[in-house]
């Protein structure tokens, strides 16, 4: 593959190969001397049209650990603010001969479009409600390292599925790797027609979390609910917020995940987020390793110039 635009299009073997490579990168990242030369001489541009803490910083660290020169494009102070389009911005950056562009954009499909307009490899760092492939890969790596496998596990994905590219990429990846995926959400936070995909669906946390091995919480994306249904935070937490009482419906050794950023007291309590069953900090560490693996896997497809 020349680009990583989504989990859709990756085979289970592709996913396994990336996770195996990422396991090696965890070890590299835990050494005192972390710097490798795989991407020496290569230029990586991070082009983020939406805010990010984890994804942007871990792509920067990952590129630098592999020896690339990394440039973070500051969209907020760029000519995008003067009306330059996505495609003109891409063509302008492409003329500077980068080898990799990492893109986050608020519109689903924008990253695919950009990939058609440039000569280099493109990685999707989140496009609208469509996909966030490196998040699903880092979640899979975290699950596999803690449970020893993905196949056969019951994973409950809970909350604002309607707006979540994280949920979408995870649903595709976890199903491809043989997990039992459950969706737990109020009907107002489910995409129309989702029942056709055949996932087990629950409106209630009690039945949705029963016997779950992994409880994956999602952020309530209020910034994407323009004027439509915006639940009250208090009501939402009461019915769908993960506290210890609801977590006790899952298996006793169930583990809790959240892609971040978290809204404490909205979709998850601090007690659970910071508790013994939480993998949230480990997910962040795995994020760097997975992004190193993705960049290295693309290295053999980078422009020969």
Q: Which is nearer to ligand CP, 260 or 265 (CB)?
A: 260
- Kindly indicate which of the ranges 106-114, 180-188, 253-261, 265-273 contains the residues binding ligand CP, using the contact rule CB under 6 A: 253-261
Residue 282: phi, psi to the nearest 5?
A: -65, -35
Residue 261 assigned ligand-binding role: yes
* CA 230 – CA 222 distance, rounded (Å): 7
Encoded one letter per residue, x for contact with ligand CP by CB under 6 A and - for no contact, window 36-65 reads ----------------xxxx----------
Number of C-beta neighbours around residue 54 at 10 A: 17
- Extract the tokens encoding 211: 């016997």
Closest to 117 (Cα-Cα) out of 57, 47, 186? 47
Residue 54 assigned ligand-binding role: yes
Q: Which is nearer to ligand CP, 4 or 302 (CB)?
A: 4
> Rule CB under 6 A: which of 133-192 touch ligand CP?
135
Q: Kindly tell me the sign of the dihedral angle through the C-alpha atoms of 81, 82, 84, 89.
A: negative
Rounded to the nearest whole angstrom, what is the least distance from the CB of residue 58 to ligand CP in the complex?
A: 8
What DSSP state is assigned to residue 11? -
Q: Kindly tell me the sign of the dihedral angle through the C-alpha atoms of 77, 120, 109, 134.
A: negative
Residues binding ligand CP: number (CB under 6 A): 9
- Extract the tokens encoding 201: 């669906």
| From 231, 242, 259, 272, residue interacting with ligand CP (rule: CB under 6 A) | 259
Rounded to the nearest whole angstrom, what is the least distance from the CB of residue 283 to ligand CP in the complex?
A: 8
* CA 115 – CA 236 distance, rounded (Å): 38
Rounded to the nearest whole angstrom, what is the least distance from the CB of residue 80 to ligand CP in the complex?
A: 19
Rounded to the nearest whole angstrom, what is the least distance from the CB of residue 120 to ligand CP in the complex?
A: 22
Rounded to the nearest whole angstrom, what is the least distance from the CB of residue 196 to ligand CP in the complex?
A: 27
Partners of 103 in the beta sheet?
47, 124
Q: Which residue has the tokens 């480990």?
A: 282
Q: Which is nearer to ligand CP, 138 or 302 (CB)?
A: 138
**DSSP labels for 241-276?**
-B-HHHHTTS-TT-EEE--S---BTTTB-HHHHTST
Rounded to the nearest whole angstrom, what is the least distance from the CB of residue 249 to ligand CP in the complex?
A: 25
**The dihedral formed by the CA atoms of 63, 68, 71 and 72, expressed in degrees to the nearest 10:** 0
| From 261, 274, 281, 301, residue interacting with ligand CP (rule: CB under 6 A) | 261
Interface with ligand CP includes 222 (CB under 6 A)? no
Contact residues: ligand CP, CB under 6 A? 52-55, 126, 135, 259-261
Per the annotation, where are the binding residues? Answer: 54-55, 82, 104, 132, 135, 165, 219, 260-261
């Amino acid at each position: 593959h020349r680009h990583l635009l989504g989990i859709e299009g990756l085979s289970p073997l592709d996913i396994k190969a990336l996770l195996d490579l990422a396991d090696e990168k965890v070890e590299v990242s835990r050494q005192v001397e972390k710097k490798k030369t795989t991407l020496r001489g290569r230029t990586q541009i991070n082009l983020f049209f939406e805010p990010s803490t984890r994804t942007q910083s871990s792509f920067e660290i990952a590129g630098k650990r592999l020896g690339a020169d990394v440039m973070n494009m500051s969209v907020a102070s760029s000519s995008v603010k003067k009306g330059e389009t996505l495609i003109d911005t891409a063509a302008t950056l492409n003329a500077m001969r980068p080898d990799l562009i990492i893109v986050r954009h608020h519109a689903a499909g924008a990253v695919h479009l950009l990939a058609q307009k440039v000569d280099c490899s493109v990685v999707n760092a989140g496009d609208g409600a469509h996909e966030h492939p490196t998040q699903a890969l880092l979640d899979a790596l975290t699950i596999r390292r803690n449970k020893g496998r993905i196949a056969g596990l019951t994973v409950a994905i809970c909350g604002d599925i309607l707006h979540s590219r994280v949920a979408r990429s995870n649903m595709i990846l976890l199903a491809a790797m043989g997990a039992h995926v459950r969706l737990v959400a109020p009907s107002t936070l489910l995409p129309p027609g989702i029942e056709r995909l055949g996932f087990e669906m629950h409106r209630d946390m009690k039945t949705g979390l029963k016997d779950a091995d992994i409880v994956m919480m999602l952020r309530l994306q209020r910034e994407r609910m323009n004027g439509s249904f915006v639940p009250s935070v208090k009501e939402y937490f009461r019915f769908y917020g993960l506290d210890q009482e609801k977590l006790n419906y899952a298996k006793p050794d169930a583990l809790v995940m959240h892609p971040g950023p978290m809204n404490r007291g909205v979709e998850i309590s601090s007690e659970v987020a910071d508790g013994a069953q939480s993998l949230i900090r480990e997910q962040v560490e795995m994020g760097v390793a997975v992004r190193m693996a993705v960049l290295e896997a693309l290295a053999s497809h980078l422009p020969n110039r």
